A and B are shown apart, each in its own frame.
Chain A
Amino acid sequence: MDYIDYYKLLGISKTATPADIKAAYRKLARKHHPDLNPNDKDALKKFQQINEANEVLSDATKRKKYDQYGKDWQHAEEFEQSRQQQRQSTQNQQQQYGGGENMGDFSDFFSSMFGNMGGAGGNRPQAKYRGEDFSAEVRLQLIEAYVTHKQTLTVNGTNIRITIPAGIENGQTIKINGHGGIGTHGGPNGDLYITFVILPHPRIKRLEDNLYTTVDLDLYVAMLGGEMTIDTLSGKVKLKVAPETQNGTKIKLKGKGFPVYKQEGQFGDFYVTYNLKTPTHLTPRQKELFTELSKTS
Chain B
Amino acid sequence: MEKTYHIALNDFCKNHNIEISFIESLQNTGLIEASELQEAGFIEVEQLMQLEMYVRFHYDLDINLEGIETIMHLLNRIETQHKEIVKLKNKLMLYELNE
Interface residues of A (CB under 8 A from B): 26, 29-30, 33, 35-36, 38-39, 122-128, 130, 169-172, 185, 187-188, 191, 200, 205-208, 212, 214
Contact = CB atoms under 8 A, between A and B. Distances in A.
Contact of A35 (B56, B59, B62): B56
A207 B60 contact: no
9 contacts: A33-B56, A39-B82, A124-B16, A127-B15, A169-B86, A171-B90, A205-B94, A207-B91, A214-B98
B90 A170 contact: yes
Looking at chain A's contact residues, the main secondary structure is loop
Contacts of A207: 90-91, 94
A43 to B, nearest CB: 13
Nearest to A188: B48
B16 to A, nearest CB: 5
A170 B60 CA distance: 36
A122 B78 contact: no
Chain B binding surface, main DSSP class: helix
A227 B10 CA distance: 72
Given A169-B90, A170-B90, A200-B93, A29 B61 contact: yes
B86 A124 contact: no
Nearest to B16: A127
A29 B60 contact: yes
Contact of B49 (A29, A126, A130): A130
Contacts of A127: 15-17
A244 B56 CA distance: 68
Contacts of B82: 39
B78 A124 contact: no
B20 interface: no
A90 B78 CA distance: 61
B23 to A, nearest CB: 14
Contacts of B97: 200, 205
B42 interface: no
A36 B72 CA distance: 9
B44 interface: no
Interface string B1-38: 00000000000000111100000000000000000000
Contacts of B52: 130
Contact of A212 (B57, B62, B94): B94
B57 A171 contact: no
B89 interface: yes
B91 A123 contact: no
**Top 10 A-B residue pairs of the complex, sorted by shortest distance between their CB atoms:** A171-B86, A128-B15, A124-B17, A127-B16, A205-B94, A35-B53, A207-B94, A30-B61, A205-B97, A170-B90
Interface in B40-92: 48-49, 52-53, 56-57, 59-63, 71, 75, 78-79, 82, 86, 89-91
A30 B56 CA distance: 10
Contacts of A191: 49
Q: Indicate the member of B60, B63, B78, B98 with the most A CB atoms within 10 Å.
A: B60
Contacts of A30: 61, 63
A122 B71 CA distance: 21
A123 B17 CA distance: 9
Given A36-B71, A170-B90, A128 B16 contact: yes
Given A171-B89, A207-B94, A214-B98, A26 B61 contact: yes
Nearest to A273: B98
Contact of A38 (B56, B78, B91): B78
B21 to A, nearest CB: 16
Contacts of A185: 15
Contacts of A36: 71, 75
A200 B96 CA distance: 11
